[in-house]
């Protein structure tokens, strides 16, 4: 139920729109794109593969966003502690340069309501 791997679309078939060849570090397999027919991937797109079917497109932007959030872990905390050291406990909705708009699913460290 859960084993799904990211693969890159490396070949499409004009006469078979619901089929593609995906590549996972050199391993290739034909997969069925039927579940993505509302928004078919193009060559170069990354998709999540499960039992020979593409389940979802992978958003590189979201992946980068996630990595940024994780890298900022601890840094915002350190920054917060520094700020608190100056007596500025209330955050005023502080935004860091790294992530001006926290996305709904990922909470920025230190930007919690407790500081409001």
Our CB check for another protein shows the closer of 88 and 107 to be 107
The answer to whether the beta carbons of residues 6 and 48 sit under 8 Å apart is yes
Our CB check for another protein shows the closer of 97 and 114 to be 114
Residues that bind another protein (CB under 8 A): 1-6, 8, 24-30, 32, 34-38, 46, 48-53, 55-56, 58-60, 62-63, 65-67, 69-71, 73-74, 77, 103-107, 109, 112-114
Query: Smallest gap, in angstroms, from Cβ of residue 14 to another protein?
Result: 19
Q: Which residues pair with 104 in a beta bridge?
A: none
Q: What is the DSSP string of 10-67?
A: EEEETTEEEEEEEEETTEEEEEE-GGGTTS---TT-EEEEETTEEEEE--HHHHHHHH
Query: Smallest gap, in angstroms, from Cβ of residue 9 to another protein?
Result: 13
């Amino acid at each position: 139920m859960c084993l799904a791997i990211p693969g890159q679309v490396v070949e499409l078939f004009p006469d078979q729109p619901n089929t593609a060849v995906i590549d996972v570090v050199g391993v290739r397999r034909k997969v069925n794109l039927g579940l993505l027919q509302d928004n078919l991937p193009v060559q170069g797109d990354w998709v999540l593969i499960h039992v020979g079917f593409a389940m979802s497109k992978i958003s590189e932007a979201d992946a980068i966003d996630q990595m940024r959030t994780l890298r900022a872990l601890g840094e915002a905390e350190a920054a917060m502690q520094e700020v608190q050291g100056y007596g500025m406990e209330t955050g005023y909705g502080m935004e860091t340069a790294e992530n001006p708009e926290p996305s709904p699913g990922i909470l920025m460290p230190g930007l919690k309501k407790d500081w409001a």
